[in-house]
Amino acid sequence: MRTIVLVDDHKIVRQGVKGLLEDEPDFQVIGEAANGRAGIELAAELKPDILITDLMMNGLSGLDLTREVRQRTPQTKVIILSMYDDWGYVDRALKDGAKGYVLKGSGIDELITAIRRVMDGECYLSPCIQGGSDK
């Protein structure tokens, strides 16, 4: 069973992603947080396999959250779920320790693929931003 924590400041996003991920028999969403600080505490407490976070949130950003989680709970792999496809954000997320970056415009199948690949030790970027390092 792959355990997942969701962090997004929009409740409807968390609920929607949770509902879709729980259709996968080997995924279990074990916690949700509405901000970065709560996400850090939840990750430290629950030690999930995967933490999926929004990039832009009030207060602590997804980048700040990623750095903190990677330091406090290094076994937890972070995937950024964002509407921003700018390579600068992607690059910063990877440098801060994210193992995946999925655009919110993607379908649930892509997020599931990202989770599976990250759990297998790979890094995953949405296909339309993979060539961004050339920008």
Residues with Cβ within 8 Å of 54's Cβ and at least 6 positions away in sequence, in order, are: 7, 8, 9, 10, 13, 62, 80, 81, 82
User: What are the chain's domains?
Assistant: 2-130 (3.40.50.2300)
pTM recorded for the entire structure: 0.94
Rounded to whole angstroms, the Cα distance separating 30 from 134 reads: 38
The 10s digit of each residue's pLDDT in 47-92 is 999 999 999 998 899 999 999 999 999 999 999 999 999 999 999 9
The 10s digit of each residue's pLDDT in 2-31 is 999 999 999 999 999 999 999 999 999 999
